[in-house]
A = this chain, B = another copy of it.
């Protein structure tokens, strides 16, 4: 089990949302409320877009709460689109190459959930990965494999279709081994221009996922908060569990749905695994 956060909007210091809010992601690394585990201390990662070709990536196997470099970076790096993730290993090694986000070219991917009975299905999943992509895999986690499967199914061309094919494939493989609910997943991907989020699980009881309300509502709620007043109408935050303690500024992402956070109007539609 893990917790994650995706930010889209004006460029802000990463610490504004990762470190400073009440019940921030940093706080969730020790005291998650809604997750399967309360401690998410098996590494973390931050990925951020700037003007460079590739997003930046900082991953560490230390717990987020005691890593000083994370505090420094979050204070000194600003970005208009960034991901942050804290990990609770479901068994695989605690190492940077198992930390999210994963990066390929200009794409970032992060995930909360698991492929059930991963050791049994791992080989079938590996075989489906585009041969030219296979050597890029560096860790041993199920999450990284999901990313490379999605890439193999065309993530860079049609992200949602690729994610639906990926999930359909993972479920088909799982079923062929008699695994009842092969996949549990909330995930977020980006190419730097928009964010695609999915909340889905084979059993239809997915891990929690929330999106911030429209900015005007939040500004009305916090009339004296300078930072919040400074945010543009485009600002959105997607989180595994709400930051702060004002629940009404968050709306739950519906079960089995995919959302696109982008300039202008966002989109939300059912997520349908394809076979």
Chain A contact residues, CB within 8 Å of chain B: 30-31, 38-39, 41-42, 48, 50, 52, 56-63, 65-66, 68-69, 72-73, 75-77, 89, 92-97, 118-120, 122-123, 126-127, 131, 134-135, 137-140
Instruction: Point out the residue from B73, B120, B135 that lies within 8 Å of A73, measured CB to CB.
Output: B73
Contact call B77/A77, Cβ cutoff below 8 A? yes
Instruction: Point out the residue from B65, B77, B93, B135 that lies within 8 Å of A95, measured CB to CB.
Output: B93
B-chain residues with CB within 8 Å of residue A76 when the two chains form the complex: 48, 50, 52, 56, 77
B-chain residues with CB within 8 Å of residue A127 when the two chains form the complex: 127
Contact call A42/B66, Cβ cutoff below 8 A? yes
Q: Show 24 residue pairs from A and B whose CB-CB distance is below 8 angstroms, ordered by the A residue.
A: A31-B38, A39-B41, A41-B63, A41-B65, A48-B76, A50-B76, A52-B76, A56-B72, A58-B69, A58-B72, A58-B73, A59-B68, A59-B69, A66-B94, A69-B69, A73-B73, A93-B95, A93-B96, A119-B135, A122-B134, A122-B135, A126-B126, A138-B140, A139-B140
Interface residues of chain A: helix, strand, loop or mixed (majority): mixed
CA distance A158 to B120 in the complex (A): 27
Nearest 4 pairs between A and B by C-beta? A119-B135, A56-B76, A95-B95, A66-B94
CA distance A139 to B108 in the complex (A): 21
Question: Nearest Cβ distance between residue A99 and chain B, in whole angstroms?
Answer: 11
Question: Nearest Cβ distance between residue A26 and chain B, in whole angstroms?
Answer: 13
Additional A-B contacts beyond A30-B39, A58-B73 (19; CB < 8 A): A31-B39, A41-B41, A52-B75, A52-B76, A56-B73, A56-B75, A57-B72, A59-B69, A62-B94, A66-B89, A69-B69, A77-B77, A92-B138, A93-B97, A93-B138, A119-B135, A120-B135, A126-B126, A137-B140
